Structure 1
């Protein structure tokens, strides 16, 4: 263990949550859509900006992961916050309602800032907490989700920024806030000293999906050539498809099911809205922390198998639950809990399989599966739902989750390259 004074590692957690809460701005976009439509935007235009932001976020995350060790986590986090904040401020300075300005500065620039900063708290947190990787990753990604709720409330019903100041000034206020708080949180985004370990912690040799650190790391180029990479990738894509399809239909489909069971439209809308806004959302945030903690005890592989199979069964059963309020709330809670949990388990499963030191570079490539799931699940739900076949959509996505569980059961530790080879690759990058 490295001698000398070492920063309190819980400061890293505080900084990580601060960073992630600001980066969660991407999921607060819906709070602006009403005002934009009042300004003459179509519903499709509002979704184009959101979609472009998601794509920019995913793609820039890959590039940032490859440069994390070169630029340094502190600089990378601060850079992400400044890019995000700058995008929102410039969008606000131009009035906040011009489609092309928002597409460029919130969709492309803002999305890029989120991707640049996102992987930093995950990579840094795992280095400081090799004994609690699941918990720390869960807290970080929960901060991302809770941040969206904070900005929605601040801009909308509680802070009333949009109502009191208009879109332009609201974007400027949020942009400055993001830049300041990510910079403050980013100051704590540093890797621990070389060779440092928590007191009393002894690393163990790990099998894929175990709870301990692996001493030998995979570079990204080597990782993508392994079957283990594709097993994790497709499992992530399958689970993301089911979760994102459920999000897209969580209000529309239950409304139809409730009205088919005799409930009036106004009451059905209220019940379905509660299922999404309360039960799903809270469970989504809680699942990220709880599943992370569970994985520290059971191991990442065992936890992922349980999550995938339980999600598959619940998603398939949802068509029988959606028409009864109590069962609808239960289904929304379980789907949200598992959906959020997956976002905590996949970074740690990646680290346990391919190495904690390389997770900043490797996880962004795994995360591209989330984008694949975003294309598959919602579109499948939209097409089949438009044909009145909601049950088929949920059944297909439930089967995909079960397939992900089977893939995870088959996961074994890949052969790992030597530390010297990885160091040479990093120096060459």
Structure 2
């Protein structure tokens, strides 16, 4: 493994660049008002664009994973970068909501999902000894993308207008993702890939997606991932509204919750990756769900002031960041690294469906009741996690 040290860190460098660019889609909220001002479209109709994007993001990971097994991560990441770039460039020409849905939502979202799996799963293959840590680096880079692109997007909207901003973002993302993809390669056949982190349960069999979905552990893992993502995405998507409606903060102060969440989300992805390597994935998930349930219970039962609000959303963001880090790692632990791209693509559908379920729950039950539901789901996830065990023979 020693002679490949430089190679595997070059892979990480390219993966980080790709993930940061993909994370730029989480700046979408910055486009809402400028699009309203320019076209006079209804806000809820504009927001639907992002929902379509997330849904296509999650759905396309299934096919991207299967494609990666055939043509390799480099070509898949390049394809994703081209789709995202083209989708954004076409969005600059959109003059109707349908066009925006197709260009940004369908084409752009498919591009994100296509490219997302490649850097993440390739890094896991190169670092069998530090799966949690390296997964944390990959997914935290995605989380930081919105922060890194935030100032650029705001400046472009102010100086170039909202439509031209799509054009510039498309060109930037296309070039940088294709550049980052050049380092993505699978380990050679003589590379040691059987090592696992001490204390982490792992199986000794590489499973296909068909074999994976035939095990009960897959369904248990999918359910707890789905429930956990509901809690995290609910807060991420409604943080500003919660601050204004329930805490009575000014719009400016409430908006700062978005930055706080982004920082704790990214920090949680990296920190929990390291921690899960040390104390194990299951123990990490139990702590993550316990923290989430406590924070959600606080938000639903206590009259929040500014401090309680920011502490609570920080706890949830930190835990959510950990969840999206630990689950890819535990998928590799349980079902091997050979088919991790296609396997995690199937598991990741829980994320996409949760992105739709969260807003539906909030709309039908109200914010306070939604928090209680999320707390209950987190507690239920803790109970399920206790019974999740590797499906095949263990290796250490």
Report if TM-score (shorter chain) is over 0.5.
yes
- In structure 2, runs of 5+ residues without a counterpart are none
- Relative to structure 1, the CA distance from residue 382 to residue 138 in structure 2 (aligned partners, 3 Å threshold; closer, same or farther) is same
- In structure 1, runs of 5+ residues without a counterpart are 260-266, 418-429
Is residue 141 from structure 1 mapped to residue 139 from structure 2 by the alignment? Answer: yes
1:125 deviates by: 0.4
CA contact (8 A) 1:287 1:336 kept: yes
Q: Aligned partners of 2:201 and 2:381: how far apart in 1?
A: 23
Give the counterpart of 2:374 among 383, 397, 408.
Answer: 397
Residue in structure 2 matched with residue 113 of structure 1 by the alignment: 111
Residue in structure 2 matched with residue 46 of structure 1 by the alignment: 46
- Relative to structure 1, the CA distance from residue 98 to residue 376 in structure 2 (aligned partners, 3 Å threshold; closer, same or farther) is closer
Per-residue displacement from partner, 1:262-313 (whole Å, max 9, x unpaired)? Answer: xxxxx45444333x22332211111010011100111112111211122112
CA contact (8 A) 2:55 2:353 kept: no
Residue in structure 1 matched with residue 272 of structure 2 by the alignment: 291
What secondary structure is seen at the aligned counterpart in 1 of 2:7? coil
1:108 deviates by: 0.9
Alignment of 1:9-408 (within 5 A): 9-39=8-38, 40-92=40-92, 94=93, 96-156=94-154, 160-197=155-192, 203=195, 211=200, 214-259=203-248, 267-274=249-256, 276-321=257-302, 323-385=304-366, 390-408=367-385
How many residues align? The count is 393
Structure whose CA Rg is larger: 1
CA contact (8 A) 1:285 1:340 kept: yes
1:123 deviates by: 0.8
CA RMSD, Structure 1 to Structure 2 (Å): 2.2
- Relative to structure 1, the CA distance from residue 125 to residue 402 in structure 2 (aligned partners, 3 Å threshold; closer, same or farther) is same
Per-residue displacement from partner, 1:239-272 (whole Å, max 9, x unpaired)? Answer: 111112223443333434434xxxxxxx454443
Q: Aligned partners of 2:5 and 2:196: how far apart in 1?
A: 23
CA contact (8 A) 2:203 2:391 kept: no
Q: Aligned partners of 1:204 and 1:42: how far apart in 2?
A: 51
Q: Aligned partners of 1:215 and 1:116: how far apart in 2?
A: 28
* TM-score normalised by L of structure 2: 0.93
Per-residue displacement from partner, 1:400-421 (whole Å, max 9, x unpaired)? Answer: 011111111101111369xxxx
1:322 deviates by: 5.4
* TM-score normalised by L of structure 1: 0.86
